[in-house]
Amino acid sequence: MSRIGKLPITLPKGVEVSVAKSTVTVKGAKGTLTQAIDSAISVEVKDGTVTLARPTEQKRHKALHGLYRSLINNMVKGVSTGYRTEQELVGVGYRATVKGQILELTLGYSHNILFELPKEIKLATTAEKGKNPTIIMECADKQLIGMVAAKIRSMRKPEPYKGKGIKFVDEQLRRKAGKSAGK
């Protein structure tokens, strides 16, 4: 079984972690994030490191130990460097444009799709000639940016024959051969 929970989290310069009862708050250059923590797990901040401890060796406590360590580590990385996702629109006539916090997608349906993004996410689109349009999102919250990226991808998932749809830039798609020629 993994021992992720036992690893200490080193705090980069400019990042502050504070613990109040069962809430952990992380402040940094990119923003402030908070996370509620189960009362069984204790969090200690000392000399630029954060350590978590569990009361017993029960399976539940082990699982929570690793979970909260990973969540706090993601928060520390998010407020110091941030997270970035890039999605590519593959298909003839597929376009993406930004108007403030509203993403307008043209995905081959009879209508355009308007998608309002949370204010924490910074959004940009690129459309270069000869390349597929790209949606670029940046945010300090890994969970939020992941959920928004998954929601955008679900609007037109890549199909397995030609690969048309919305996919992540580094994503490898499983392709199918298609119908064979006549006998």
For every one of its 183 residues, what pLDDT tens digit does the chain have, with 9 covering 90 and above?
458 888 999 999 999 999 998 899 999 999 999 999 999 999 999 999 999 999 999 999 999 999 999 999 999 999 999 999 999 999 999 999 999 999 999 999 999 999 999 999 999 999 999 999 999 999 999 999 999 999 999 999 999 999 999 999 999 989 988 887 655
Q: From CA 115, how far away is CA 37, in angstroms rounded?
A: 32
Q: How high is the pLDDT of residue 180?
A: 76
Any idea which architecture 83-168 has in CATH?
Alpha-Beta Complex (3.90)
Q: From CA 165, how far away is CA 183, in angstroms rounded?
A: 32
Q: Which two tokens stand for residue 103?
A: 């993403």
SS3 annotation, 105-138: EECCCCCCEEEECCCCCEEEEECCCCCCCEEEEE
Cα four-point dihedral sign 61, 64, 68, 70? positive
Q: From CA 92, how far away is CA 99, in angstroms rounded?
A: 22
Q: Which part of the chain is CATH 3.90.930.12?
A: 4-80, 83-168
CATH 3.40.109.10 describes domain 4-80: no
**29-44 residue pLDDT tens:** 999 999 999 999 999 9
What DSSP assignment string belongs to 32-46?
Answer: EEEEE--TTSEEEEE
